[in-house]
Structure 1
């Protein structure tokens, strides 16, 4: 511990010395600005030129990275087929592990862009659609070599995969793998929503699209995308490969946690959804390829199809007005201008790009640290600042409807996101750990994640100073669901969901009381016998069985709690392969839980017998408390899916 702290301190000293001694000047529009002093951006109207963009970025990002505890970042801006600028800031490697600090090289440093990986994957899938090898609206069973469990009769199509509307439960894996086939086939998630009805962001769905590309093309996914998407787009130093090829590995520094610790290279089985590694010049070339509707990748009409609503109001109703998914792309607006975009987040890596198709302009940012709480909105703030500076427009204005306040009052409440665990043991906890709360702040305004929204038309709210939107689906005068942007649906939290964690907590207390009271009573009895006092009859064997069942149920609860504590305490490393032992622990908890449910029978019989024997108020009370706790916990296990075979991890 002291040695590590010393090393970190020495590394920080080295960083500080280098920062103070190395005044690097900008070299054209592709300079690294690891230690550039802030400079004031030009005032007045702003033209989208290298000089103006560089001044704006240099005046904003160094302080933002410093204040947000983010080591480094790259930014690329393109317009009309040209690269306006490619800038690097901060450190690709802080030297925290003992090496020399390395500044971000905007031309060579590599960054992992996480879910932006879904865009080349979607393009690859649409290439096969263009070739007639895949039907966008045919059931995907025609292209798979395994069965996906269905809960609905509607076809499950590639369109649903690309619009995040396949209806899949959230899915994860504790076992890292680079075998795409093994990933999609091993314990696939359940289908919890009818296809095309409830958008819910799904990495598994996009990985499945990648597997279809692999199956139909006859090539490994990484090879197909490299040959048919990345290289034709000019991305010669980008790859989905895990680990990186030797000739690229030296250009990728580590990602960093919010406390500055290095994040190991994450190997992911759903790599079509998240493993892409790029350089800033490569991504600039990719943005230009998209904005020019490059025929090397897709036909012009296919580009427009990917950038258009993929489902439509006929499927989503009023929720479509909050923005819809295209085919792989998010479609949003800033200042009334159409934007297609995608963001990405992996441990230690955060990225975002936005394209303005009509203006043929794009911006890309990627940073290599989780940062502190103040940096949470860095990517969105930069994108909004870019729009404010170069594509200004009128601010969002409320509609002024007399019904706005009533609408806001009805929408305000607590919701569960569609992207959460619905069918595994984690579903018992998600309502407590991932609720979304929307507040009515008066005057028809809503507050969500500290952002303010105003109603711009009936049941549609837009963020005052950003691109966010909320749209409500109302049935019989009640809000049945909300759309929080293209791929995220919010569903009102039910009373059952609200009760899960409190019931678990009450049962924990009751079982602790009964379990502790048992040996305490035995000790009191033994002490009374030693003193020659008269005591009641010994505890019957049936009571002992019932209380033993209570102790087993309590052990199940403690095991669940321990499991959750480990998962939450190690959320940044939980998928690195070192926590596979949690699977047998979860199975053990399920066995204990099942035995606790069986214990309801002897506990019920024991209570009846205690009443018949008039066993005394203490014993009757303990028997009643035990039965109530076991029955309530049995309900929790059923309602919270604690015993389902699939663990979802």
Structure 2
């Protein structure tokens, strides 16, 4: 009996020692990376999403996977508000936007595996002779540069997307039509580029001997059973309608999005189809459906770009994400849809979120943060350099340089201000975040708007005591190329010119009425000045209409706005001719002081206005 009790005691003691680790192991296996129990997922996600559905979001599909199996799948809100059709993650199709790029990079890695692509090779060896005509630097562009968005291309917005599918041209024609200028040396600046990804897709097309969409269908979609996924979907009965928010709880249906550069962002499909892709990238058995060797998957998910030791940004086209565990992912936006795709390879965990809402971040970004990172985490700061040394105003590296749209970026700069020796506030377009210095010049976000969850860490490159660049995922930020004083002066001069030319027609009408009453021949002596004023008025109105049209819809073809540039050239010619004739007239004839003053003001205002429009590229 005593022997039995002794054995029983030993068994109980053994169980008491090892029971806690067993429970912990089970708990870790049944939670999200942030620690949310799978049993509580329904309540947790419902409470999170319900806060936004109908308020800032029309509809969403949310799917979570663990070890290749779906642990949560649910649709929220409406796919079609007019008909009350609900979102179904299995059948509702939504635009993926730039999440489509993940498919392009998988295709590239498949050809790397076959030995057809060398990631370090000059891409000109794969392209037709003289295919790229706007390169400014002699250094070669490699596939790595395309993957890391460091090829040096400026942002080019025209002809990126269309609301009318009949405007689509072939991938090759689209690339030729929309080739951007190269404004940075290859490898120096991260500047997110749709063109780079589309160019990579074209290389896949050339080397595989198939059109890119056919290649992807044969080598990715069909092997994974992604039956609902295709590029540039037109009139599919299960396609959700996309919306933009016009006010609190108010939404307006918006146009679909079609692309010639389709490898960069034209896929539509169900959330379940995208979940199949996520599963194949986090489950080694399924990965062999995509790759012949599991090492290709491992390489694909390995960091390939890090601007400084300890700060990883990119893994072969996937953006790195700092959470409780290393994350990889890609977001996407079109004119009326938002999406996010997130992998946690170490945990074989993944999240897919699709929404039919333009510019949505609260769920597509915020929910992922809640599921992969503890919300109450704190960061220990280390000794570093005083935060005041990185204060300043910066512009996104991802911007246009040779178009009037460049002005838009000056209106939304990134502003950095120090809070104390180790903390900074970062502000962009009214959104703020607090960062703390964890290593010299390396800052990690503590709190901030969902937008900043895509740039959890930022690094300041300092040369000779000045910040030369801020490294961040998606886009680096660079110091203002012009001083604030210069920008303010230009803005003031533009306002003065605008007021002058806007008032000119009314002043001329008043003077014409007065001259009729007094029977004076006013226009005989100042007719060329009048032409200058009226031409300036016309040019100003044309420029304002151009700005309004672009701000209301960036998805335009160049041909749609080309007329505005032609009008500007015509008015410029008329103003120039009028200035010359007015000057000749003034030399040959005697003018009163009033006439001389009005003529001089007209000439000065016109020249100043033309110079400002040239400086801001309103002619191209």
CA deviation vs aligned residue, 1:38-59 (integer Å, no higher than 9, x gap): xxxx999986654222231122
Indicate the SS of the match to 2:347.
coil
Relative to the length of structure 2, the TM-score reads 0.82
Q: Distance in 2 between matches of 1:55 and 1:538?
A: 78
Deviation of residue 382 (structure 1)? 0.5
Name the residue aligned to 2:392.
Answer: 412
CA deviation vs aligned residue, 1:175-233 (integer Å, no higher than 9, x gap): 53152122111142111111111111111221111111112211111110111122333
CA deviation vs aligned residue, 1:361-383 (integer Å, no higher than 9, x gap): 11111111238xxx643322111
Deviation of residue 330 (structure 1)? 0.4
Change (3 A) 1:212 1:546: farther
Alignment of 1:283-362 (within 5 A): 283-293=274-284, 294-298=287-291, 299-313=293-307, 323-335=312-324, 337-362=325-350
Change (3 A) 1:550 1:74: same
Indicate the SS of the match to 1:232.
helix
Q: Is residue 2:145 matched to residue 1:167?
A: no
Q: Distance in 2 between matches of 1:517 and 1:143?
A: 62
Q: Is residue 2:619 matched to residue 1:643?
A: yes
Name the residue aligned to 2:408.
Answer: 430
CA deviation vs aligned residue, 1:512-543 (integer Å, no higher than 9, x gap): 4555545544544443347xxxx9x9754xx5
Change (3 A) 1:301 1:630: farther
Name the residue aligned to 2:605.
Answer: 629
Change (3 A) 1:511 1:169: same
Change (3 A) 1:499 1:129: farther
Change (3 A) 1:45 1:161: closer
Task: Answer whether contact 1:232 1:297 (CA < 8 A) is retained.
Answer: yes
CA deviation vs aligned residue, 1:123-154 (integer Å, no higher than 9, x gap): 11222222222232223222223333211111
Name the residue aligned to 2:495.
Answer: 505
Q: Distance in 1 between matches of 2:302 and 2:581?
A: 61
Alignment of 1:76-225 (within 5 A): 76-94=63-81, 96=82, 99=83, 101-145=84-128, 146-174=131-159, 176-225=167-216
Task: Answer whether contact 1:340 1:355 (CA < 8 A) is retained.
Answer: yes
Alignment of 1:470-619 (within 5 A): 470-495=458-483, 496=486, 499-512=489-502, 516-518=506-508, 520-529=510-519, 539-540=524-525, 543-571=526-554, 574-575=555-556, 581-597=560-576, 599-602=578-581, 613=590, 615-619=591-595
Task: Answer whether contact 1:214 1:220 (CA < 8 A) is retained.
Answer: yes
Deviation of residue 341 (structure 1)? 0.8
Deviation of residue 568 (structure 1)? 2.1
Q: Distance in 2 between matches of 1:602 and 1:304?
A: 72
Name the residue aligned to 1:31.
Answer: none
Task: Answer whether contact 2:33 2:372 (CA < 8 A) is retained.
Answer: no
Relative to the length of structure 1, the TM-score reads 0.79
Task: Tell me which of 347, 364, 367 is aligned to 1:379.
Answer: 364
Task: Answer whether contact 1:115 1:345 (CA < 8 A) is retained.
Answer: yes
CA deviation vs aligned residue, 1:426-480 (integer Å, no higher than 9, x gap): 23x3244443333444453223222221222222221103452222222221122
Deviation of residue 640 (structure 1)? 1.4
Q: Distance in 2 between matches of 1:45 and 1:585?
A: 52
Q: Distance in 2 between matches of 1:497 and 1:322?
A: 34
CA deviation vs aligned residue, 1:91-128 (integer Å, no higher than 9, x gap): 2222x1xx3x2222232222221110000101112222
Deviation of residue 157 (structure 1)? 2.1
Q: Distance in 2 between matches of 1:141 and 1:620?
A: 60
Task: Answer whether contact 1:514 1:622 (CA < 8 A) is retained.
Answer: no
Task: Answer whether contact 1:441 1:447 (CA < 8 A) is retained.
Answer: no
Q: Distance in 2 between matches of 1:295 and 1:90?
A: 36
Q: Distance in 1 between matches of 2:151 and 2:33?
A: 45
Change (3 A) 1:619 1:458: farther
Task: Answer whether contact 2:154 2:181 (CA < 8 A) is retained.
Answer: yes
Change (3 A) 1:310 1:492: farther
Task: Answer whether contact 2:396 2:475 (CA < 8 A) is retained.
Answer: no
Deviation of residue 270 (structure 1)? 1.7
Indicate the SS of the match to 2:196.
helix
Q: How many residues are aligned here?
A: 564
Deviation of residue 570 (structure 1)? 4.0
Task: Answer whether contact 2:442 2:457 (CA < 8 A) is retained.
Answer: yes
Q: Distance in 1 between matches of 2:587 and 2:438?
A: 62
Task: Answer whether contact 2:34 2:371 (CA < 8 A) is retained.
Answer: no
CA deviation vs aligned residue, 1:250-281 (integer Å, no higher than 9, x gap): 22221122142223332222211111122222
Alignment of 1:35-50 (within 5 A): 50=38
Q: Distance in 2 between matches of 1:243 and 1:43?
A: 39
Q: Distance in 1 between matches of 2:343 and 2:358?
A: 24
In structure 1, runs of 5+ residues without a counterpart are: 1-41, 645-649
Q: Distance in 1 between matches of 2:178 and 2:256?
A: 24
Task: Answer whether contact 1:404 1:455 (CA < 8 A) is retained.
Answer: no
Name the residue aligned to 1:11.
Answer: none
Indicate the SS of the match to 2:78.
strand
Deviation of residue 307 (structure 1)? 3.2
Q: Distance in 2 between matches of 1:598 and 1:478?
A: 47
Task: Answer whether contact 2:469 2:476 (CA < 8 A) is retained.
Answer: no
Name the residue aligned to 1:463.
Answer: 445
Indicate the SS of the match to 2:364.
helix
